[in-house]
Structure 1
């Protein structure tokens, strides 16, 4: 996406009527969904297919988008040493930031102690409710995680939509194209054209974003009640506060040190944040966040590596959720966790939080896996948070998104692959871009 294309798209966006803006349409749709769920809960709950259909429509495009973006980025980079350097920097950054997230959540949940006084007997819980999630934990762990990166077949990764497997194949293809040199140009041109086509499809599908947001919110309110949006207990409210604290005290200073305003970045990606909140899925905006980061001045090759990798390794919101929920369950079941147990929990989560990429309901699966790995907190206790997991996802998914947007700019600046003038211009304007461009 060239600077001239972005400038033209920005001019078009700035001349549009306010009601044509995606974030306005999504807000209106969310308000309508809340109203329907509150006034007619039964009908609101039946709107779930609208949200699910939108998520499925976007998810079917994730694998080809990652493949085209990563292959094109590496091929145009034409320097395998640089690819390795960027990957190492990104993984180092991800590990440091997610560790901060785990520690902040651990401190916060020990201070506010939301589960104390519940006195839940795990034996009284219906373990069958969480059995489908517990069964999936066998594939979670360091060795299975590393083995799972390699797909059974080349096309199998695309069929399953496993982000890490598609990323692995894309990196190999990118390296192969570098080795081929000029002979690879026809293939690179096809990949570039394919990427533009897929982004064009994304632009079409995003027209349904308000409808998807309406269905998802109507279902949430209809199923859990209007109170679910404001207060379904100390755990949900406290978790939202922890997410905000993390964004402000960790991501805020990182953004400032990197020379940009976090608030302006959030304003720039407000459309995507709202869609994340409504659909409780950050995958729904992966194509748009890739386009927006490129439009903001980050080099295509950096974006192509950092964003897809971050969707598996830089899940700040998910880390906040895992620690909060795990310690909450220990408190609720009167399970004693001393400092050694809590440090052990952090160490286990450094692995398990990255070990379920591509699994539906990954955060909940990883929570069950973590409890099974610690052997301290009863696994059956995850039934306590099963009903409110979707509501907590409305906090963790936008946090994941913001964290990956910040990471992309930081890594691009670290690699001297950031157009700072372009970044300042875009963030100051706060304009959306044409993702099909």
Structure 2
């Protein structure tokens, strides 16, 4: 019910509202390229880790049943590529089984809307922003039954597989947190390579918004405090005000690493063959589909459930994730807040170097 409109509204809203062209021309392209590279790396780290650790192998004997459509599914890369562009966006949203088609339409629509100036276009942008907020409120309504779903899911799983499934969940959560620590090491190490020792005081400044993200499992709740702390650190509000909203739309690295890891976890439970070419195609789809994902609790599970059926992974397997998703969401949100804080500092470093270069050219011209 919510996947199609949620993806459509949030993705168009995120792309069409990039209006600060001066900042974008100076550092925006580099930031966007950084986000794309970071998303690929995050997805790849989750994918490789899941192939090494194999969290789904031996996890349980009686997973939720697979529907006939999934058991008979065969991945065809040619058909997949041809099918990326929808015949009709309405048709794509009605079928609701090819989220990539909604993403492609949203990308075109958002880019086209961003180029149109004037009040009429702004009215449309405001309307789409409101639609995005409405869909997030509907998502919140749906998620209010999550405690009941978690209770029922754990009860059903324990009944079918025995109480020993609870320690299995403990191992699964521990494996994911190890993956998160690997991501943190990569993020901090990359930050050190670009901004040097300034990364250490930066970590001190953004520790509070990271903890807010961890406690609330919502990167949006950490956003105001992140802006405040980055300004105290010395980052221009113009830079952080540009990078953070874009980052919370395009660079949720905690979500990225979760998507590939969780999808392979479910595939392994159902003994679904996932050769490398199929995994890489899934990585690319997740890369595009995740752009515009909402920074609210459980939004990434909605996105994951929409992508998996396209690769023969049963959406019913999501009940296994939802049972412990609160613990997973806390870690991935904290990771995303950390990653975006580091990118804001890197972007400020780039901006300062660009300004210095500009001043030097100006001085030479005067001389």
- Per the shorter chain, which TM-score range? 0.5 to 0.7
Q: Which of residues 39, 44, 47 in structure 2 aligns to 1:98?
A: 39
* Number of residue pairs aligned between Structure 1 and Structure 2: 280
What is the CA distance between 1:159 and its match in structure 2? Answer: 3.2
What residue in structure 2 maps to residue 315 of structure 1? 252
What residue in structure 1 maps to residue 65 of structure 2? 123
C-alpha RMSD over aligned residues: 3.7
What is the CA distance between 1:137 and its match in structure 2? Answer: 7.2
Q: Which of residues 113, 124, 127 in structure 2 aligns to 1:153?
A: 124
Q: What is the correspondence of 1:187-226 to structure 2 with a 5 Å cutoff? A: none
Q: Which of residues 392, 397, 416 in structure 1 aligns to 2:352?
A: 416
What is the CA distance between 1:148 and its match in structure 2? Answer: 5.8
What residue in structure 2 maps to residue 109 of structure 1? 50
Q: What is the correspondence of 1:294-373 to structure 2 with a 5 Å cutoff? A: 294-357=231-294, 361-373=298-310
What residue in structure 2 maps to residue 142 of structure 1? 104
- How far does the alpha carbon of each residue in 1:24-43 deviate from its partner, in whole angstroms, 9 at most, with x for none? xxxxxxxxxxxxxxxxxxxx
Unmatched runs of 5 consecutive residues or more in structure 2? 1-12, 68-94, 114-121, 135-143, 156-165, 356-367
What residue in structure 2 maps to residue 378 of structure 1? 314
- How far does the alpha carbon of each residue in 1:353-410 deviate from its partner, in whole angstroms, 9 at most, with x for none? 2143478732011101221333x21222222212222221011000000000000011
Secondary structure class of the residue paired with 1:249: helix
Deviates more, 1:325-334 or 1:284-293: 284-293
- How far does the alpha carbon of each residue in 1:32-62 deviate from its partner, in whole angstroms, 9 at most, with x for none? xxxxxxxxxxxxxxxxxxxxxxxxxxxxxxx
Secondary structure class of the residue paired with 1:330: helix
Distance 1:261 1:230 in 2: 41
What is the CA distance between 1:235 and its match in structure 2? Answer: 2.0
The normalised TM-score by structure 1 is 0.56
Q: Could you say if the C-alpha distance between residues 95 and 111 of structure 1 is closer, same or farther in structure 2, counting changes exceeding 3 Å? A: same
What is the CA distance between 1:346 and its match in structure 2? Answer: 1.3
- How far does the alpha carbon of each residue in 1:317-361 deviate from its partner, in whole angstroms, 9 at most, with x for none? 000110110000010000011111111121111111214347873
Q: Could you say if the C-alpha distance between residues 154 and 349 of structure 1 is closer, same or farther in structure 2, counting changes exceeding 3 Å? A: closer
Q: Could you say if the C-alpha distance between residues 159 and 273 of structure 1 is closer, same or farther in structure 2, counting changes exceeding 3 Å? A: same
Distance 1:280 1:136 in 2: 27
What residue in structure 2 maps to residue 272 of structure 1? 209
What is the CA distance between 1:112 and its match in structure 2? Answer: 0.9
Secondary structure class of the residue paired with 2:352: coil
What is the CA distance between 1:416 and its match in structure 2? Answer: 1.3
What is the CA distance between 1:411 and its match in structure 2? Answer: 1.1
